[in-house]
Amino acid sequence: MQRRRMAGTIAVVSALGMTAVLGGCGVTGGSADVTLKLVAADYGDSAANSSKKYWDGLVEEYEADHPGVKIDVSVYSWNDVDRKVREMVAAGDPPDMAQIGAYADYAAQNQLYKADDLLSIPVQADFVGQLASAGQVKGVQYGMPFASSTRVLFYNKTLFAKAGITPPKTWDDLADDAEALKDEGVKYPYALPLGPEEAQAETMQWMLSGGGGYADTVGSYGIDSPENIDTFSWLKNELVGKDLTGPVAPGELNRAAAFAAFAKGEVGMLNGHPSLMKIAAKNGVEYGMVPTPGKEGTSKSTLGVADWMTAFRKNGHRDQVGDFLDFVYSEKNVLAFSREYDLLPVTSSASQTMAASGRDRHLKPFLEELPASELYPVGKTSWAGISVQVKKQIGKAVAPSGSPSGVLGHLQAVATRAESAE
């Protein structure tokens, strides 16, 4: 097996307290058992499609071929999984692997294995380029992308037909369409969810469409860049100020509520990810999807989001973890997970298969956006705290008495202090 680590024989202590003699790529000896603990997030919306079912099937297959290794998987909701892992780490009992939303803090504390200490060369090289780069801290990959998605603009075809309009390509088009929808009595011509649930996503989507972003070209925070200030000034004056974003103030509108309103036929347009397709279709909403409109044409980049697999060093099960993760990231398993939850593959091989497959055509608009997507600056240990501040503050930038430059300037000052402390 091609693996970037020393081959040969090493001794480790199993979870049962037994000393196991291990080869370079797995366990040798019939009684030398090792148990790997994996904490994973639940991507399902019911017991019927819980991620536990996915992991149970995958683990059963793996263990059948690796009798010396057991995989103990605990699945938690996204509301709990990051906290559970933090608690385990704080108690001195981290899992061997954790599939969670962030990794940079653990990497900065030297608690994680590097990806190239775990994965075989072909597996690591198969990650989609910008996802692998986003998993790096100071040029070293610690976060292994596990699931990804992008954003596109959803629109209600029925409402658009009634208003006699076509999908927008520019900000001006979007504002004109929103005016027409408002004239037809649409409750939310454009839904702008800048509430605390996921404001950081809508914020970045708009920043990117205006040529900005959270970080500048050299990787430092650039939250109050001229481009970002112009973007939020436009939102405040041309959408919110003209009553084109609905009856709920953007700073109080959460993504889930915006999606639910779209599913009720109350929203003309909004930014959405793949899960919105099922929600809309289930409620009989005829929808279309187009690339994000930009200031002067289709946005050159869109928001990409990834969740991360991490591997903790403390238990010392590097070889077994690496072998299991090679299996997890096989094309078959990446495709199975992505298809089950309408997510985008994190490997190039699975992405190519999905792009060529008729069964995945509903994901094609999102897949086409992936190469030009940009991700949050998750490699910064300060990002988690900055994201929290964005969720709390950004809605004020478009409020009637709000100041885009003032709010973005405040966030930049917070970010600069946090970045200097990294």
Look-up: residue for tokens 């605390």?
196
**Which tokens hold the place of 28?**
């040798």
Q: What is the predicted pLDDT for the residue at 19?
A: 30
DSSP 8-state secondary structure symbol assigned to residue 358? G
Is residue 189 within a helix (H) or strand (E), and if so which, with residue range? strand 188-190
Which is nearest to 214 in space by CA: 225, 202, 198, 230? 225
Q: Measure Cα distances from 395 to 246, 274, 299, 391 in Å.
A: 14, 24, 22, 8
Q: What is the predicted pLDDT for the residue at 14?
A: 29
Q: Which are the contacts of 86, defined by CB distance < 8 A and separation ≥ 6?
A: none
Q: What is the predicted pLDDT for the residue at 420?
A: 87
Burial, 203: exposed, middle or buried (Cβ in 10 Å; 0-12, 13-18, 19+)?
A: buried
In this structure, is residue 299 part of a structural domain? no
Rounded to whole angstroms, how far apart are CA atoms 264 and 301?
Answer: 29
Q: What is the predicted pLDDT for the residue at 4?
A: 47
Residue 14 structural domain: 10-147+307-366
Return the CATH number at 414.
Answer: 3.40.190.10
In this structure, is residue 60 part of a structural domain? yes
Q: What is the predicted pLDDT for the residue at 17?
A: 33
Same domain, yes or no: 112 and 205 = no
Same domain, yes or no: 233 and 353 = no
Cβ 379 vs Cβ 386: under 8 Å: no
In this structure, is residue 297 part of a structural domain? no
Rounded to whole angstroms, how far apart are CA atoms 4 and 2?
Answer: 7
Q: What is the predicted pLDDT for the residue at 79?
A: 82
Which is nearest to 148 in space by CA: 315, 274, 299? 274
Same domain, yes or no: 227 and 110 = no
Total domains, the chain: 2
Same domain, yes or no: 276 and 398 = yes
Phi, psi of 311 (to 5 degrees): -130, 120
In this structure, is residue 4 part of a structural domain? no
In this structure, is residue 205 part of a structural domain? yes
Cβ 246 vs Cβ 269: under 8 Å: no
Q: What is the predicted pLDDT for the residue at 372?
A: 83
Same domain, yes or no: 86 and 194 = no
Same domain, yes or no: 97 and 192 = no
Cβ 274 vs Cβ 259: under 8 Å: no
Same domain, yes or no: 39 and 129 = yes
Q: Measure Cα distances from 127 to 70, 139, 141 in Å.
A: 26, 15, 11
In this structure, is residue 245 part of a structural domain? yes
Burial, 401: exposed, middle or buried (Cβ in 10 Å; 0-12, 13-18, 19+)?
A: exposed
Same domain, yes or no: 282 and 194 = yes
Q: What is the predicted pLDDT for the residue at 9?
A: 29
Q: What is the predicted pLDDT for the residue at 11?
A: 30
Q: What is the predicted pLDDT for the residue at 22?
A: 33
Same domain, yes or no: 158 and 205 = yes
Same domain, yes or no: 106 and 211 = no
Same domain, yes or no: 251 and 339 = no
Q: What is the predicted pLDDT for the residue at 413?
A: 97
What residues are paired with 267 via a beta bridge?
Answer: 188
| Per-residue pLDDT in tens (0 to 9) along the chain, 422 residues | 444 443 332 233 323 333 333 333 433 333 458 999 999 999 987 788 899 999 999 999 999 999 999 999 999 998 899 999 999 999 999 999 999 998 999 999 999 999 999 999 999 999 999 999 999 998 999 999 999 999 999 999 999 999 999 999 999 999 999 999 999 999 999 999 999 999 999 999 999 999 999 998 888 999 999 999 999 999 999 999 999 999 999 999 999 999 999 999 999 999 999 989 989 999 999 999 999 999 999 999 999 999 999 999 999 999 999 999 999 999 999 999 999 999 999 999 999 999 999 999 999 999 999 888 999 999 999 998 999 999 999 999 999 999 999 999 999 999 999 988 87
**Which tokens hold the place of 31?**
């009684």
Rounded to whole angstroms, how far apart are CA atoms 291 and 152?
Answer: 5
* DSSP assignment string, 285-313: --EEEEPPBBSSSB-S-EEEEEEEEEEBS
Q: What is the CA radius of gyration of the chain?
A: 23
In this structure, is residue 15 part of a structural domain? yes
Cβ 271 vs Cβ 155: under 8 Å: no
For the entire predicted model, the pTM comes to 0.84
Which domain-ending residue is among 339, 366, 393? 366
Same domain, yes or no: 129 and 212 = no
In this structure, is residue 301 part of a structural domain? no
